[in-house]
């Protein structure tokens, strides 16, 4: 019989969290990026630390302060993030991919500033490795949480991502929901697990972090 619930259920556990945007350079002065602020990933890192975990936060460029007692590693590109994630993956108990990883990068990076010589400029992009998908198909003991950002057919698309990437939990954002999205302190999401879809109310990213970790601990125990 479980007669005591630990206030530190992640004591001794390793949790890897990615956060923020990536920046994909095209020359020394320019990059392609997205609107991610890093708020969700940083909130998750704080929450996991409070539950006793050893937390590693791999973050793209973000204005946010590093969370207390969390190991933070700053990267710029999706390739940089992938490399760092791989070097920590083996000994993790949980991995949470909250980062808004760039799907594509410029095929070539100019060493010199690109000059506006022509009337049009075509930029060729190539696909970045899907980090979450890679982890889902190479996991050993890790419980893996992905995020999904959708603007239409939200639940259907998200269920497909959940299955394809072999996640244990997928947190789905609908960008067009009031109070959800990149810069807000609140979020309205649904949680997808193997057998359920939980529609959550609008709540702070701090509260949502507690809920996500709670869910992950349960999923791992199942």
166 classed as catalytic = no
DSSP assigned state of 178: T
Query: Is 129 near Ca ion (CB under 5 A)?
Result: no
CA Rg, the chain, in Å?
A: 18
DSSP 109: -
Residues 135/164, Cβ–Cβ less than 8 Å: no
The C-alpha atoms of residue 154 and residue 62 are separated, in whole angstroms, by 27
**CA angle 202–97–165, rounded 5-degree value:** 105
Question: Cα angle at 142 between 140 and 146, to 5 degrees?
Answer: 125
Is 161 part of any known ligand binding site?
A: yes
103 known member of a binding site? yes
Choice among 34, 110, 133, 157 that is catalytic = 34
- Smallest distance, Å, CB 101 to Ca ion? 7
Q: How far is the CB of 46 from ligand CTP (least distance, A)?
A: 19
Judged by CB under 6 A, which of 97, 212, 216, 219 binds ligand CTP?
97
Instruction: Select from 16, 43, 149, 189 the one that contacts ligand CTP (CB under 6 A).
Output: 149
Q: Measuring CA to CA, how many Å separate 168 from each of 112, 183, 198?
A: 44, 26, 14
Q: Which of 103, 129, 206, 207 lies at the binding interface for Ca ion (CB under 5 A)?
A: 103
DSSP 18: E
Task: Quote the least distance from Cβ 12 to ligand CTP, whole Å.
Answer: 26
Q: Is 208 in the site for ligand CTP (CB under 6 A)?
A: no
- By beta-carbon proximity to ligand CTP, the closer residue of 45 and 101 is 101
- Determine whether the annotation assigns residue 147 to a binding site: yes
Which residue's CB comes closest to Ca ion?
A: 103
Query: Catalytic residue numbers?
Result: 34
């Amino acid at each position: 019989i479980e007669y005591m619930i630990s206030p530190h259920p992640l004591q001794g556990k390793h949790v890897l969290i990615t956060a923020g945007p990536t920046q994909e350079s095209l020359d020394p002065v320019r990059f392609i990026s997205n609107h991610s602020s890093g708020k969700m990933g940083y909130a998750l890192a704080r929450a996991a630390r409070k539950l006793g975990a050893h937390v590693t936060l791999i973050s793209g460029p973000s204005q946010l302060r590093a969370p207390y007692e969390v190991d933070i590693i700053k990267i710029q590109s999706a390739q940089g993030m992938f490399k760092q994630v791989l070097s920590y993956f083996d000994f993790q108990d949980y991995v949470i991919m909250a980062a808004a990883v760039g799907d594509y990068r410029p095929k070539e990076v100019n060493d010199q500033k690109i000059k506006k010589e022509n009337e049009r400029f075509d930029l060729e992009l190539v696909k970045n490795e899907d980090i979450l998908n890679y982890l889902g198909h190479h996991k050993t003991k890790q419980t893996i949480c992905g995020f999904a950002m959708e603007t239409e057919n939200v639940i259907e698309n998200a269920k497909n991502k959940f299955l394809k990437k072999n996640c244990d939990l997928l947190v789905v954002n609908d960008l067009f929901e009031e109070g959800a999205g990149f810069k807000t302190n609140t979020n309205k999401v649904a949680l997808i697990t193997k057998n359920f879809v939980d529609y959550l109310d609008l709540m702070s990213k701090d509260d949502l972090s507690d809920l996500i970790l709670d869910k992950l601990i349960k999923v791992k125990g199942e």
